[in-house]
Amino acid sequence: MSYSNTATETYSVTDIETVMRKVTADIVMIAGSTGAISEEKARQWGHDIEVLAKNGYLKAVDLTLFSGNSEIKAVRYDINTESGALTTSRPGGVLWPRVNQPYLQIILMYTSEYNSEARSKLKPKLCIDWVPTSVDTSHSTLKSNSGRNYVSNAYGMQRKDFN
């Protein structure tokens, strides 16, 4: 399966898989360093993110570390299907601290095409039963920094870090 954005910007399922391996590596590093979730749970999140991305339903992913009710760190990954001009980075820079009462919150943001029919079709392929939320992901208590870019051909995810 291939996707086309413009005559000069194309990407394949393999490109999405390449980018998603890097995003999943980040999530596994975050899980391991914080101890907030298991590596298995982190890989389930990565699996579902990849399934949604391959089907064109993923717009962004937001992952936040809390200590109790306080935000400690966060990352946001935004899909970019015109990323040919971006330079790819290696996964990393996400060895987050161990905190008291750790909690990792992941929010997936979908494209408008992810309607009830699409949800029904994909549900058996997902590891997690994702539920709607109206959680604020502005990270207003944290300072944003540029993160890393994970790119393969014209498909990429741009990571923004919040500290």
Task: List the CATH number of the domain containing 134.
Answer: 3.30.900.10
Q: What is the pLDDT of residue 85?
A: 63
- The encoded tokens of residue 27 equal 């999530």
Q: Which helix (H) or strand (E) holds 4?
A: strand 2-4
pLDDT of 27 higher than 50:
yes
Dihedral angle of Cα 110, 115, 121, 123, to the nearest 10 degrees: 50
* pLDDT-wise least confident of 20-34, 52-66, 87-101, 141-155: 87-101
Q: What is the pLDDT of residue 136?
A: 94
Pair 98, 33: CB distance under 8 Å: yes
Residue 38 belongs to domain spanning: 2-162
Pair 88, 149: CB distance under 8 Å: yes
How do residues 122-162 score in pLDDT, each as one tens digit?
999 999 999 999 999 999 999 999 888 898 888 999 999 99
How do residues 80-135 score in pLDDT, each as one tens digit?
877 556 666 666 678 999 999 999 999 999 999 999 999 999 999 999 999 999 99
Q: What is the pLDDT of residue 100?
A: 97
d(CA 90, CA 26): 10
pLDDT of 15 higher than 70:
yes
Q: For residue 89, report the phi and psi dihedrals to the nearest 5 degrees.
A: -115, 165
Pair 159, 148: CB distance under 8 Å: yes
Q: What is the pLDDT of residue 70?
A: 97
Pair 31, 41: CB distance under 8 Å: yes
pLDDT of 2 higher than 50:
no
- How many domains does the chain fold into? 1
d(CA 119, CA 17): 21
CB neighbour class for 104 (10 Å; exposed up to 12, middle 13-18, buried from 19): buried
